[in-house]
Amino acid sequence: MTTDEPALSDASSWLTIGARAVDTGTGRTGVVLLLRDAAGNVHTEGIERPVRALLRCEGRREPRWWAEVGELRSAP
């Protein structure tokens, strides 16, 4: 890795499609549906450097939302 490359997010080790995540920005917990990379491409499988994740709220009929990966934590 060069100094120009962003460091891998801690989330890259656990953030996959179907993972439960807490969005610390909103306090909501959801299930990851899609991942987006820095170029804006959307992925239906795990990627090395996700920057955003589309989440579906668990157990409630609320709208899906995009969250910044830096604000996500693995949900128990």
pLDDT in the model for residue 5: 39
- Residue 34 domain boundaries: 13-74
Task: Evaluate whether 21 touches 55 at the Cβ level (below 8 Å).
Answer: yes
- pLDDT by position in tens, the chain (length 76): 333 434 444 666 899 999 999 999 999 999 999 999 999 999 998 888 999 999 999 877 889 999 999 999 999 8
User: In 3D, which of 4, 10, 24, 8 has the Cα closest to residue 75?
Assistant: 24
pLDDT recorded at residue 36: 97
Q: What is the pTM of this model?
A: 0.81
**CA pair distance 74, 76, nearest whole angstrom:** 7
pLDDT score at 60:
78
Q: Kindly state whether residue 38 falls inside one of the protein's structural domains.
A: yes
Q: How far apart are CA 67 and CA 73, in angstroms?
A: 11
Structure token pair of residue 8: 């891998």
CA distance 26 to 60: 15
What pLDDT sits at residue 61? 86
Q: Is residue 21 part of a domain?
A: yes
Whether residue 19 lies inside any domain: the answer is yes
Q: What is the domain count for the chain?
A: 1
